[in-house]
Structure 1
Amino acid sequence: MSKSAKEIVKEFYNYNLVSEPGKALSLIHDDIELIWNSADGLTIMHYPEIVESFKEIQRSYDDLRVEVSHVLEDENFVTIRYKYYIRTIENQDEELGIAHFIAIWQIKDGKLYRGHQISQPVMSADDSSGTYNKVKY
């Protein structure tokens, strides 16, 4: 029995990109395209750029942890909301939240195929700390 699109995305995000990059890469389609809107602007990544970004993560961090808050599935599309936490090589005792993400993935051949991702750096007012600004309507 094959895995659902949601199970594939959850499995990918459960892998630690510092200690298990090969396992994460096994769930990435050879023809992957990731369109990423971040504070730095628009980045479009394909397989070679994603491999290089995984290598950079390994060089920069001692540990990387993801905290997933939402995973929604619609046929072969999955939306995931998550936050990354890191421990740097220089300060392994302190875990820091670094960014919030929302990604929409299309799954093809049991792998992540097309992604649209938006990220925002963690701020002092953060929804996971309960100190966010509440909007009045």
Structure 2
Amino acid sequence: MRSKDIVLEFYKADALLDKKIVSELLHPEVSIDWNSSKGFIQMNYDGVLAFTDELSKSYIRSKIRISHILQENNLVSLRYSHFVKTIENPREDMLLGTFFVIWELKDDKLYRGFQMSQIS
């Protein structure tokens, strides 16, 4: 599978809410450096899965709208908006934020992520 296809699988509808899908796409040594509007966050494999658990407790749907995606060898960059539906209001898409991420893939898995985000 191409690197771009692996990244797209990670960001497909509701994948970020499914711990099983996320765990299958992550390299065991994954590391994400995330510069958010709330500060710097660094996550490893267990941290990403814990984050997935938290998302799935708060939201019933997750949708990513990708505006840009580029691949060069094992690096994939994308810019996207992340929308969710809350348990309290399942009929309305709520914009969580706008993101830019660069993924390095290793062994056909997400290995290193460098992400920036801005809350909506």
Q: Same fold (TM over 0.5)?
A: yes
Question: Residue 116 of structure 2 corresponds to which residue in structure 1?
Answer: 118
Q: Structure 1 segments of 4 or more deviating over 6 A?
A: none
> What pairs up with 1:1-137 in 2 under 5 angstroms?
3-16=1-14, 17-18=16-17, 20-122=18-120
Structure 2 stretches lacking a partner, 5+ long:
none
The farther-off stretch of 62-71 and 32-41 is 62-71
Gaps of 5+ in 1: 123-137
Bigger strand fraction = 2
Distance 2:12 2:61 in 1: 13
TM-score normalised to structure 2 length: 0.94
**Cα distance between partner residues in 2 of 1:114 and 1:97:** 25
How many residue pairs were aligned? Answer: 119
CA RMSD of aligned residues (A): 1.0
Q: Give distance in 2, aligned partners of 1:91 and 1:7.
A: 32
Give the secondary structure class of the aligned counterpart of 2:91: coil
* Alpha-carbon distance in structure 2 between the residues aligned to 1:66 and 1:85: 6
Q: Check whether the contact 1:15–1:24 (CA below 8 A) recurs between aligned residues.
A: no
CA contact (8 A) 1:107 1:114 kept: yes
Using the aligned pairs only, state the percent identity.
Answer: 36
